[in-house]
Amino acid sequence: MLVSGHVPSRQLTAGVIAGFLGVGLATAILLTIALRINDVWSASIVELVAAQQLAMQQARAAAADGAAVAPIPFDWTESARRFITTLLGGGLAWSWLPMIAGFAVGASGRAVIWSRTRRTPDVVASAGVARTFQNIRLFPELSLVENVTVGMDRRLSTGFIGSLLALPSALRERAQARAEALKLLQFVGLGEKAEDAAGNLPYGHQRRLEIARALASRPDVILLDEPAAGMNPTETVDLMRLIRAIRDNGTTVVLIEHHMRVVMGISDRIHVLQYGEKIAEGTPTEIRNDPKCIEAYLGKEELG
Amino acid sequence: MAARFASFARGQLIALGALALVPLLDLALPAAGMESLQLAGASRSVVVFAILAIGLNIVIGWTGLLNLGIAAFQAIGAYAFAILTWENYPFQIGFWPALVAAALIGALAGALLGAPTLRLRGDYLAIVTLGFGEIVQETLKNVEVVTQGTKGINPLPAPFGLTSDRAILWFYAYLAILVVVVYLCRNLEFSRMGRQWFAVREDELAARCMGIEPDKAKLKAFAAGSALAAVSGALYAAALGSTAEPASYGFEISILALCIVIVGGIGSITGVLVGAMVMLGITDVLLPLASDKLQDAGIGSTANVFSSPNNYKYLPAPGRPRCSTPSPVSTSRPRDACWSRAMCPAGSSPPA
């Protein structure tokens, strides 16, 4: 065949092969660096927030006659297990949530949950801490079942190749995950709507779906961030029943809530926070009669 | 819900079936005494671009990453395929191994682009990928010792020993590859992998809090999309018997792929198949047909007069705006008054 132009030599061929290998190597190195940088970046944000709060708290404690303040305002050991623990706080309660989720549990050394150095949210999640969001963050265009199955992701083992070729193991796992997701939807009372898009659900149901999604990862601890916000009385009663059922199934519940009926109705233990510091701890009855709490939430009676 | 687990959706079967029937018109029309439309060649490019757009759909439609440089991966696939099969290189590993190798090299290149852009979203990612497309094009043009520069690598051996006059057989071979691609992508869509991509698209933070690692999911999406684009490029080069010049993998190809994805409905494989038929039907069948017919009617040449800006000034234009300050030229020759300040710098007269 007549080809005008240059006929590559053996040397050039070697060059091309070396080029391919070089590109491959460069990809591997770049990938490693990129993934690491991302981890370090995310982890450092979590730690920065946590460290700031810790410093703030210690400064405040030093100002108030140097009392030592624990990194977490409550005892996070076996005693907290299988309880519904409520953080009842003015304003700063929510700021404990990322700390519990991302930092304090591991850093304080009392961690029953995990001890790895990387603390990005995905690691926290795979360590067994699930959470819901105060402003609902579902996957609006996915169906209810798919939303719940995403929550199950950390327990699934199908890889890319398995997915691509629809290997029998992948199909089996998919069917199992689906059945389990349907069961969870049933548990939170959304069984009939399994194939609807999540974005079309009414507000109260979206909250329940979020809880189902968090439960799907079979967490040791589930953090609920103001689950009763914006709910009407009927929905609230249903929610309380649901949270109790979650506890009875053996999951520790940590609740951040202002809704007094929910707090007093279902909490096993309550920690009251004021300006980010704990001022009282106890059962609902104790908290109800605690003078410090009454002062913090109702104000002091002016005499004279 | 068993229907959702079936291998193909009904829409996909209809679209693939319709595409399979199109080239038969080439046989039917002459038999009915009409002019042949040469649809087999056009259908073959429908297949090539459908595969490209399915790859783009993984990145844009499923993972929500706006990639405007998909043509670069098509180029990488085409050149990898060409280098592995060209008779002047010692590889010559044959059609199927070269196709698989092109896909792997495309995936690698996709990961290479994806790695540094993990933190980018939306417009910023679009800019980076667009730049990548241009870089690849320029590189291919300038590394002449390897890529033959603007000449392109040719001739490439025809796959399956098919010659260019057997366009219909060629089309059906490509269609079979498309069917496999659709099947694999459908598997991905309804698997754990697809779910991770959707979750990342819908809400990255929520996905992260569910234990998904968005970075890995995005990289896999990039790699899978680029691998398909590379397959598309390899098929393109094989059909042409040449890689063609690097400029034929330019920005407009990326935009064409984007149009295919969007016309059919973003995120849907069926949509991509329909979109490819519509867009390629317009560019490869209707436009040449229309221009032929217009040429025949003599309208084409008239249309040229109207469409060429150089001819514009010879046409009478009653509503043409005049220069606000009359120049000496415009006072002496009001008929040729300049209608744009930019075209008539002061002191110069418009060309007669």
Q: Which of B105, B193, B198 sits opposite A139 (nearest CB)?
A: B198
With CB atoms and an 8 Å threshold, state whether B89 touches A16. yes
Q: Would you kindly state where each structural domain of chain A is located, as residue ranges?
A: 71-298
Q: What is the DSSP letter of A197?
A: B
Burial of A81 by CB count in 10 Å (0-12 exposed, 13-18 middle, 19+ buried)?
middle
Contact present, B88 and B75 (Cβ < 8 Å): no
Q: What is the DSSP letter of B318?
A: T
Residue B329 falls within a domain, yes or no? no
pLDDT digit string, tens, across residues A292-302: 888 877 777 66
The ipTM value here is: 0.75
Torsions phi, psi of A195, nearest 5? Answer: -100, 0
SS3 call for B239: helix
- Minimal C-alpha gap between A219 and chain B (Å): 10
CB-CB neighbours of A9 under 10 Å: 10
Q: Which of B1, B109, B208 sits opposite A122 (nearest CB)?
A: B208
Residue B49 falls within a domain, yes or no? yes
Helices (H), A68-215: 93-102, 104-107, 121-126, 144-151, 160-165, 168-187, 203-215
Nearest to B69 by CA among B112, B39, B21, B29: B112
With CB atoms and an 8 Å threshold, state whether A166 touches B187. yes
Contacts of A15 in chain B (CB under 8 A): 146
Contacts of B119 in chain A (CB under 8 A): 38, 41
Domain around B283: 8-296
Chain B residue with minimal CA distance to A26? B112
- Minimal C-alpha gap between B259 and chain A (Å): 22
Q: What is the DSSP letter of B326?
A: P
| pLDDT tens-digit profile, chain B (352 residues) | 333 445 788 889 999 999 999 888 888 888 887 777 778 888 999 999 999 999 999 999 999 999 999 999 999 999 999 999 988 888 888 899 999 999 999 999 999 888 888 778 788 999 999 999 999 999 999 988 888 888 888 888 888 777 767 888 889 999 999 999 999 999 999 999 999 999 999 998 899 888 888 889 999 999 999 999 999 999 999 988 888 889 999 999 999 999 999 998 899 999 999 999 999 989 888 888 887 777 777 665 565 555 555 545 555 555 544 444 444 444 444 444 444 444 444 554 444 4
Residue B321 falls within a domain, yes or no? no
Say which CATH number the domain at B94 has.
1.10.3470
CA angle A259, A51, B215 (to 5 degrees): 85
- CA dihedral (B263, B250, B79, B267) in degrees, to 10, reads -20
CA dist., res. A20 & res. A17, Å (int): 5
pLDDT digit string, tens, across residues A232-276: 888 889 999 999 999 888 888 888 887 888 888 888 888 787 766
With CB atoms and an 8 Å threshold, state whether A34 touches B209. no
pLDDT for the residue A178: 94
With CB atoms and an 8 Å threshold, state whether A137 touches B203. yes
Residue B338 falls within a domain, yes or no? no
Contacts of B88 in chain A (CB under 8 A): 3, 7-8
- Find all residues with CB under 8 Å of B303, minimum gap 6, and list them: B294
Query: Residue A248 is encoded by which pair of tokens?
Result: 């009875």
> What is the β-pairing status of strands A269-274 and A277-282?
antiparallel
Query: Residue A116 is encoded by which pair of tokens?
Result: 């790895």
pLDDT for the residue B310: 55
Contacts of B190 in chain A (CB under 8 A): 174
Q: Which of B206, B208, B220 sits opposite A160 (nearest CB)?
A: B220
CATH code of A71-298, in short, is 3.40.50.300
With CB atoms and an 8 Å threshold, state whether A139 touches B1. no
With CB atoms and an 8 Å threshold, state whether A137 touches B105. no
Contacts of B3 in chain A (CB under 8 A): none
Total of domains in chain B: 1
Chain B residue with minimal CA distance to A139? B202
Chain A residue with minimal CA distance to B200? A139
Chain A residue with minimal CA distance to B218? A35
Chain B residue with minimal CA distance to A31? B115
With CB atoms and an 8 Å threshold, state whether A142 touches B212. no
With CB atoms and an 8 Å threshold, state whether B88 touches A217. no
CA dist., res. A276 & res. A273, Å (int): 6
Interface test with chain A among B195, B222, B245, by most A beta carbons within 10 Å:
B195
With CB atoms and an 8 Å threshold, state whether B210 touches A120. no
With CB atoms and an 8 Å threshold, state whether A26 touches B112. yes
Interface test with chain A among B62, B210, B266, B268, by most A beta carbons within 10 Å:
B210
Residue B60 falls within a domain, yes or no? yes
Query: Residue B279 is encoded by which pair of tokens?
Result: 């867009």
